Structures are given as C-alpha cells and as structure tokens.
Structure 1
Amino acid sequence: MAALHRRLEAAAQAEGLVDVAYTTVDSPVGPLLLAATPRGLVRVAYAIEDHDSVLEDLAVRLSPRVLRAPKRLDAAARELDEYFARTRERFDVELDLSLSRGFRRLVQQHLPEIGYGQTRSYRQMAELVGNPKAVRAVGTACATNPLPVVVPCHRVLRTDGTLGGYIGGLEAKTALLALEAAA
C-alpha cells in the first residue's frame, strides 16, 4: 500500500495535480503538520489544532487538491529537526504567506526579526510595525500565525513579561523559549 501511495504521489506531483502537499513530523512539542504550496511552506500546525480540521481548512481556503506528499516538505522537516537540535537559529525555507492578509501579515513578516533566544512585547511589536496603539491587533496576528515555530510568534510576550497565549498551548510556548534560552 505504501508503494502504491508513493507512485500515486509521484504521478500527481509530476502532473501538477497537488496544490497543497502535507506531512507530519515528530517534534519535542508534539506532532506537527507541515503543509506547502508550490510557493513554499504555508502551514505548520500543532496536534492541539486538530490536523484533520487544518487540512479541511486548507482545502477550503487554498485548494481541494491536498495530498500527503512528504518529499515537498523534506527541507522544512530538516530545518525543524535542526532547530530542535539547537543547530539552526533561523529558517531559510521558502514561505507562502497567502493565509494572512493586511496588518496580520505585516506583523508576521516582522516576527523573524526577533532574534533566536530573544523576546519582544506585543507593544514593542506594535511600535516596530509603525502602529504603537495596535497592541491587541499584534496579539491577534500572533494568535493567527499560520506558521508557528518557523515564524517565531512564540518570542512575543506580554509587556509584564508573562507568556500571553499561544496557538500550540502554553506548554509548547514555554518549551520553545526554554529550548532557545538553553542554546
């Protein structure tokens, strides 16, 4: 059965019939769903988000042509492995930011500017993107980040230094911050 799936996957890819490829990878913060379009990595999802629901959302928002096709995600999976092994501080994989728009996308584009092992407050991020009063909107942009870990919204904290929320749960946010602090 696995050999048949690999042949079907290769044929679908060769014919350009896969708009969204996905796979799951194990990580210290639980299984992560990775999804990519031909433009790049479009989604990283924690198990707490319900991977099946995430795939359904991608089928509605991007294309119904979704297929488990791990090869397209080899580079992203490798970079995540390196990150969790503390040998990678920045991701180089191509990103597809089409799931975000407007102010949310602007904030998400600036999140990688927060260095590995560093944090910023929601207020500092609002100032960075040129809208100092948009603290809550920055929180929403972080909460709706379709590429957690890779686009490091986990590095954004409340002004008082407490964690705030996180799409993968506070345990995952704490684990990511501890991983980076230990490097």
Structure 2
Amino acid sequence: MLSFFNDYQSPIGKMTIQVNDQGLMGVWFSTQKTIPKILGVKSESNALIIETQSQLNDYFKGLRREFNLPLFLQGTLFQQQAWQALRKIPFGETRSYLQQAQTINKPKAVRAIGSANAKNPISIIVPCHRVIAANGALTGHAGGLELKLWLLDHEKAFSVCVIASLF
C-alpha cells in the first residue's frame, strides 16, 4: 500500500505527517526518540496531508478541539482500544492511566496502557498527552515532557478562553 508523507512546521517544532489511501497513519514530532522509518512518496499536494495540516493549524490557533480525519491506526487489539479511549478525553482535560484503563474495562492494565500510549503513532490527534499519573504528575511522552506540558497548557489556556467568553 503506497503512503505519502510531508513535513509540517508547527509552533512547537517540525512534525512529519504520513497518510495512505485509507487514512492518517502517523504524526510524529522530530524530537521523538523513536520515529518509524517512513517509506513512501514525499507529497505537498496530497489532500489528506493538506487537511491534516489545516486541522493542526486550527488546533494551534485554539480554533479546533476535535479532529475530523480518517485514521489508519496499526496496532494490536489492545493498542487500538487504548488509542480509542484517548480520543474520548475532552480537549483541555486530563485522565490518569488508571482512568484510561477503566474506560476499556481493563483496570489492571495500567502499565500496558502506558506502553500502548508510548506507541501511539498519531500525536495530538490521538491525544496521549492528556494522560498523566494518578497523583497529577506528568509522565512519559514520546516528544518529551516539555512538549507534553506545552500541549496541556495550550489546551487549558484555550479552554479558559472559551469559558470566559460565555460570560
């Protein structure tokens, strides 16, 4: 299956977007320790890459809280369940690894949840940055804890703006 990729310059650094004809396969930060070897054709004109960039631009401007993109997530059944649970965490909110495990009815799988989140191929859009330790501490993120903190602060800032504008 042919895939396409292109770089995207975000406010927090360079990212790479990869798609195929079935959906978005990956969004990776250049700072990630492990980025899969991307095989495919570099494309600046692929419609899904362009739409992904557009939705990410809106996210960074505070105009988008959810993404409406077809996803092509490759992983084990457990990973797929963990990643679907991530997509249910609202913008500007956090959950613990235990809460995420409970969402998929596997409350004893907290460590496995952490492992699945670490393998999440679609950063931001599948928001693993919204998962923190039960005590509120920031824990692992593929792009680093500084980046995770930036994303959480970004979402909280725009969540507050929306609430304030209601009054």
Q: Report the TM-score, using the length of structure 2 for normalisation.
A: 0.89
3-state SS of 1:168 partner? coil
> What is the one-letter code of the residue matched to 1:180?
E
Among 41, 61, 67, which residue is 1:67 paired with? 41
Please provide the CA RMSD for this pair.
1.4
1:8-87 residue pairs with structure 2 within 5 A? 19-49=2-32, 54=36, 56=37, 58-59=38-39, 66-72=40-46, 73-87=49-63
Consecutive aligned runs of 4 or more in structure 1 exceeding 3 Å deviation = none
- The structure that is helix-richer by fraction is 1
Q: CA deviation at 1:50?
A: 6.8
- Among all aligned residue pairs of Structure 1 and Structure 2, give the percentage whose two residues are the same amino acid: 34
Is the 8 Å Cα contact of residues 116 and 180 (structure 1) preserved in structure 2?
A: yes
SS of 2:45's partner is: helix
How far residue 97 of structure 1 moved from its aligned partner, in angstroms, is 0.8
Q: Does 1:159 align with 2:134?
A: yes
Which amino acid letter does the alignment assign opposite residue 75 of structure 1?
Answer: E
What is the CA distance between 1:110 and its match in structure 2? 1.5
CA distance in 1, matches of 2:120, 2:61: 23
- Runs of 5+ consecutive residues of structure 1 not aligned to the other structure: 1-17, 60-65
Contact map agreement 1:143 1:166 (CA 8 A) in 2:
yes
- Contact 2:93/2:130 (CA < 8 Å) preserved in 1? yes
What residue in structure 2 maps to residue 104 of structure 1? 79
| Residue ranges of structure 2 left out of the alignment (5+ in a row) | 159-167
SS at match of 1:31: strand
> Would the aligned equivalents of 1:21 and 1:70 in 2 still touch at CA under 8 Å?
no
1:125-136 to structure 2, matched below 5 A, reads: 125-136=100-111
- The higher radius of gyration belongs to 1
Q: How does 1:158-177 map to 2 (within 5 A)?
A: 158-177=133-152
Equivalent residue in structure 2 for 1:91, among 54, 57, 67: 67
Classify 1:132/1:97 alpha carbon distance in 2 versus 1 (closer, same or farther; 3 Å): same
- C-alpha deviation, 1:109, in angstroms: 1.2
Give the Cα separation in 2 of the matches to 1:82 and 1:71: 19
Paired positions, count:
156
Shift in Å at residue 49 of structure 1?
Answer: 2.9
Tell me how far apart the structure 1 counterparts of residues 32 and 20 of structure 2 sit (CA, whole Å): 20
Q: Look up the match of 2:163.
A: none
Matched residue SS, 1:23 = strand
Q: Return closer, same or farther for 1:19/1:152 CA change in 2, 3 Å cut-off.
A: same
Counterpart residue identity of residue 44, structure 2 = P
